[in-house]
Structure 1
Amino acid sequence: MKNHCFTGILLAIFLLATSCGQPAVAMAAAAPAEPTERVADAPDSAPRCLTNATPHTTSEWLVYHDIVTDEAGNILPWVNPGNLCDSYDHIIRLVFEWWLNMERNPDEPDIPYYLMHMTWEPPSPYFDAQGLGGDQLAMAMSSWRLYYAYSGDQRAIADMVLMADHILDHGLSPATDLWPNIPYPYNYDPDHLDILNGDFMYGEHIAQTDKAGSIGYELIYLYKITGNPRYLQAAVAIANTLAQYTEAGDESTSPLPFRVHTVTGAHNVGLGNMYTTNFTGLLMLWEELQNVNAGNLAQYGVAHQRILDWLRTYPVHNNVYGAFFEDGPGFTNTQINAVTLAMYIMEHPTIWGSTWQADARSVLD
């Protein structure tokens, strides 16, 4: 029996989708391709796809398939050893179809399994008992945004809407909380797995500020794709709360805490290490709201500058990147925070400033 962690699968989709040549359709295309339609390679991408290798099937296995190699012993794709793009395309579509048709647990609420769990363990009845991964739904929305741009499959948009509506209907802190209208990362109550209400380790009413920013950023894109103002309004509400509480930070204190009790605002006692650098989603949320001229723009500008200055001053130089994953109470120094920061720097050189190349290189080194 093998278990499948959704966040790892979604990261693979992100990498494959960005490796498959030019997008087949624009983000807001009016006539998406049929779900089973195969998108042809862009003319200039075909030479990059070809391996020009003579495949050799070995007697060894890699997970489910015979290992195929070229003349030098390098592993080739099992789908089409002669064409990398065919293979990338095939795998992306396999994962997407599996995601949409994932077996549900008949003893749980009748909603998609991936709205309640971080791991799928085949075959039934070996369903995983744990709830969601903290950034799982934001990662899925990001992956399907890329997949839709690549394939034109409108089911990707429908699934993004499904996930967003689930968060907004069943996963926000109450408007009366000190930290209102931000998404909770985890379905803490095993008797109500369809409700997002807290944190994996610390229970009800605990939100993770970095994950809230990532969700907000994906909601902005969903608003652009669908035109539904609900997603813009929710993104503004998330951005407002996080901007209100953003501080300057210092070498040991991040501008926002990793975890916060949304009712009381407590974040400095009993909730694990509070330091994180995973703020690129939040930065891009504020930037996109500036672009669409929505929300408290002046407050966003101040908060954005505080986080940007802090990232430039401390993490880039001391290589302390802090927490991302939700399953550890102590200090962690996670690679994912470093890599996403490097990506942000390289994709936003004008915003970052003249040291962007040196700083991105320093982060990756």
Structure 2
Amino acid sequence: MIAVFLSVPPVVGQQPFPVISTVDESTIAGRPVALDSEGKLLPWPMPDNTGYSYSAYFLSQWAIVWDQYNRQRLPYYFCCFDFDRTTFELIPDPHWVNSTGYLRAMMQGFIERLYPYAGDPHTLEFLENFVDYELENGTTPEGYAWSQVPYPSANPGSKRYTGWSQHGEDFVEPHVVGEDGYAYLRFYEMTGNTKYLHAAIRCADALVKNFKPGDENNSPWPYRCHARDGSLKNGKGMFPYSANVVEPVMLFDELLRLDQGDTASYKRVREGAWAWLMKYPMRNNLWVGYFEDVAGSMDNMNQVIPLEFARYVLLHPEKDPEWREHARHLIDWVKTTPKWPKYMVHGAMVTTEQGSGKEFCCNLPNQCCDSHSSRLAAVEALYYAKTGDIAYKQAAYRTYNWVTYFQGLPAAAHAPFSTQWWFTDEFADGPRRMMDAFWAVPEWAPADESHLLGSLSVVTKIAYGAGRITYSTFDMDSTDVLRLNFVPDSINVGGRPISRHDDLQREGYTFDEKTHALSIRHTSSRDVDIQGKSEQAPPSFITFDDPHLPAGTPLLGQYPSGVIDWGSGEWKTGTPFGKFGTFTLVTSDPKATQAEFKFYAPRIFAGVDVYNDADKDATLTVHAPENREVSFTIKAKQLIRLRTDWRDPCSQVVFDFTNGHALRFDNLAYGYP
């Protein structure tokens, strides 16, 4: 959530509050909690399947983002939305600042991880359009002190971004220039398009031009200043201090690594910003100055800056000889600072985002702030991955479990003071940090699927097949983490086999026989090919979100086009419901005992996700002329991922139900012969 409380009268936190309190409520975001035998929180919607529950969180959010790209494109023009609780159609919030700048940066971070995980080129199509829109409609004029860099925000509904008028006119936030610049640079690495490299260099050059050494009251770049001349005068939102020099440092480090731009100046300014960071914020914990809708203040601390810095040095310990001590200190500070409240929810620590010790953002526990708890969990998981300290893994697991309850569109979750939702938090920041979970702890990823979970280099292309993954990274020297549903027989880098080792001190790989976690270090080539034995090819999915149809629409004929013929209306689309966070499939007649569909061309029906909302068990029998019949029992209130294990294609699939009136379906999976 963004810090509304500093711009409108707060409704929470008007007096000192406990730093940590226990709030063991029976629901989170309106969804009933699941607990283990010790009363500790388990993930949603499948308590016994971490991989499904965690991946469902970020895949659900992506489904909504992709639908928005194809229809309303609300994230281009609005910060926030509500949704109709009957139709689940999104309604833009016309009142609050559009957070244009760091939404792009957060979204780039999400897609950088999602593309190699899913192998879906639609992710790149969306991100390219989203970033291009900002470059075409949201950068400062040439000739300014801050020239040709992104504005941080826009008035709600505005097609052109020039900053939020409540803070002034024609201003920039230099830390966002660094954050967006780093995102442009990584997107250049993903695509090879030098347009994004040049945009990143313009951001770095502006940061160099406007750098000052800083002191206790003035950061190297101001929190907010006028774009034309860099001044702070005559603007109510202008302010001289932001602790967030981390994002500019990341941009300079990456340009130096690539030997691009004015490297001598980048090195000098980077060293100056780092020295200021070590001398002041790392000693006085004055972590202020991040959000685009907050007035400048030396009192209002936030957790984004310290945790993002901790994450950076955990991934790049060569940048900081004291990375271990610094990361641990920052985690501990976020978890214990009295500036905003934290909550223990069935053993999961939940953090809000910012506060002054008297006022804080945002809601009461279990209503919001999943993205900020996701960040805390990510940094703790990465700390465990780097140090082996199991306590951080356990803490991350419980907090991530809490985050999963917010996937999709839970009707009881909302931002402060209203029912609005934020595109930054729910659909970019939260998902990107949830994806860190699998990178740090591969055993949490789905065991029955194969995925590339994380890499220090961006992944430029990837293809999945039965017992095969082939991919390329931007850098030749990279360490990549995967989880496989098969045992690798051979791993080739640049067409040459590499060997299995006990560590990754040199080119080679490690493989855990129990978890099927695979880590590869390659230095001789960007191209990696993994081969093994498996008959299970990755399926395609019909999610009933793409293309979007209004809830209750009868499925007549083909949907999606050229894939399935649903007949004459015995099926219809359904709203998010029960343990499904996005749109679903239901029978038009709840009393039906049988329903069928036909593939437009023969396909292998792999299975479907099924939820039973009834108070007693239901049975589902699936049959097709070309395959053996399979039957399943779905317990009351249970969600299962049904798999047929069929190997032969079929044209017609028939479902027979017993007590099937409360069944809902999603993620219909099919394969090609």
TM interval, short-chain normalised: 0.7 to 0.9
Instruction: Confirm or deny: 8 A CA contact 1:116 1:131 kept in the other structure.
Output: no
CA distance in structure 1 between the aligned counterparts of 2:69 and 2:256, rounded to whole angstroms: 41
Among residues 128, 145, 153, which one is paired with 1:178 in the alignment?
A: 145
| 2:32 alignment partner, SS class | strand
| 1:324 alignment partner, SS class | coil
Report the equivalent of 1:345: 313
For residues 120-173 of structure 1, give each alpha carbon's deviation from its aligned partner in whole angstroms, at most 9, with x where no partner exists: 111268420124225222111111111113222222111211121011100110
Report the equivalent of 1:359: 326
For residues 105-127 of structure 1, give each alpha carbon's deviation from its aligned partner in whole angstroms, at most 9, with x where no partner exists: xxxxx861111111111126842
What is the one-letter code of the residue matched to 1:73? G
Report the equivalent of 1:210: 175
Q: List runs of 5+ in structure 1 lacking aligned partners.
A: 8-58, 105-109
User: Which deviates further from its counterpart, 242-251 or 339-348?
Assistant: 339-348
For residues 245-275 of structure 1, give each alpha carbon's deviation from its aligned partner in whole angstroms, at most 9, with x where no partner exists: 1111111110011112111321256434321
Matches within 5 A, 1:151-170: 151-170=118-137
CA distance in structure 1 between the aligned counterparts of 2:44 and 2:209, rounded to whole angstroms: 52
Report the equivalent of 2:207: 242
| 1:199 alignment partner, SS class | coil
Q: Are 1:135 and 2:97 matched, yes or no?
A: no
User: Which deviates further from its counterpart, 275-284 or 295-304?
Assistant: 275-284
Percent identity between the aligned chains? 26
Among residues 51, 65, 82, which one is paired with 1:121 in the alignment?
A: 82
Q: Are 1:329 and 2:295 matched, yes or no?
A: yes
Instruction: Confirm or deny: 8 A CA contact 2:97 2:153 kept in the other structure.
Output: yes
CA distance in structure 2 between the aligned counterparts of 1:319 and 1:138, rounded to whole angstroms: 25
Instruction: Confirm or deny: 8 A CA contact 2:245 2:277 kept in the other structure.
Output: no
Instruction: Confirm or deny: 8 A CA contact 1:60 1:67 kept in the other structure.
Output: yes
Instruction: Confirm or deny: 8 A CA contact 1:179 1:241 kept in the other structure.
Output: yes
Closer, same or farther: CA 136–196 of 1 in aligned 2, 3 Å: same
CA distance in structure 1 between the aligned counterparts of 2:287 and 2:29, rounded to whole angstroms: 33
Among residues 218, 224, 232, which one is paired with 2:197 in the alignment?
A: 232
| 1:317 alignment partner, SS class | helix
| 2:225 alignment partner, SS class | strand
| 2:34 alignment partner, SS class | strand
Instruction: Confirm or deny: 8 A CA contact 2:104 2:183 kept in the other structure.
Output: no
| 2:83 alignment partner, SS class | coil
TM normalised by structure 1 equals 0.76
CA distance in structure 2 between the aligned counterparts of 1:118 and 1:172, rounded to whole angstroms: 18
CA distance in structure 1 between the aligned counterparts of 2:263 and 2:66, rounded to whole angstroms: 38
Instruction: Confirm or deny: 8 A CA contact 2:232 2:239 kept in the other structure.
Output: no
CA distance in structure 1 between the aligned counterparts of 2:31 and 2:324, rounded to whole angstroms: 41
| 1:323 alignment partner, SS class | coil
What is the one-letter code of the residue matched to 1:67? V
CA distance in structure 1 between the aligned counterparts of 2:276 and 2:239, rounded to whole angstroms: 18
Instruction: Confirm or deny: 8 A CA contact 1:186 1:200 kept in the other structure.
Output: no
TM superposition shift of 1:361: 2.8
Report the equivalent of 2:231: 266
| 1:255 alignment partner, SS class | coil
- Which is strand-richer, 1 or 2? 2
What is the one-letter code of the residue matched to 1:158? E
Report the equivalent of 2:264: 298
CA distance in structure 2 between the aligned counterparts of 1:172 and 1:199, rounded to whole angstroms: 14
For residues 276-324 of structure 1, give each alpha carbon's deviation from its aligned partner in whole angstroms, at most 9, with x where no partner exists: 1112221111111122221111111111011011111111011111111
Q: Are 1:112 and 2:78 matched, yes or no?
A: no
User: Which deviates further from its counterpart, 316-325 or 74-83?
Assistant: 74-83
Closer, same or farther: CA 70–357 of 1 in aligned 2, 3 Å: closer
Root mean square deviation, CA, Å:
2.4
Report the equivalent of 2:35: 69
CA distance in structure 2 between the aligned counterparts of 1:269 and 1:203, rounded to whole angstroms: 8
CA distance in structure 2 between the aligned counterparts of 1:158 and 1:226, rounded to whole angstroms: 11
TM superposition shift of 1:355: 2.8
Q: List runs of 5+ in structure 2 lacking aligned partners.
A: 4-24, 334-673
TM superposition shift of 1:200: 5.6
CA distance in structure 1 between the aligned counterparts of 2:109 and 2:233, rounded to whole angstroms: 31
Report the equivalent of 1:280: 246
What is the one-letter code of the residue matched to 1:347? L
CA distance in structure 2 between the aligned counterparts of 1:244 and 1:211, rounded to whole angstroms: 16
Among residues 307, 311, 321, which one is paired with 2:273 in the alignment?
A: 307
| 2:33 alignment partner, SS class | strand
What is the one-letter code of the residue matched to 2:278? R
Report the equivalent of 1:107: none
TM superposition shift of 1:328: 2.6
TM superposition shift of 1:60: 5.0
CA distance in structure 2 between the aligned counterparts of 1:6 and 1:314, rounded to whole angstroms: 25
| 2:147 alignment partner, SS class | coil
Closer, same or farther: CA 160–308 of 1 in aligned 2, 3 Å: same
Report the equivalent of 1:84: 50
User: Which deviates further from its counterpart, 69-78 or 321-330?
Assistant: 69-78
CA distance in structure 1 between the aligned counterparts of 2:323 and 2:32, rounded to whole angstroms: 44
TM superposition shift of 1:344: 2.3
What is the one-letter code of the residue matched to 1:113? L
CA distance in structure 2 between the aligned counterparts of 1:111 and 1:282, rounded to whole angstroms: 33
TM normalised by structure 2 equals 0.43
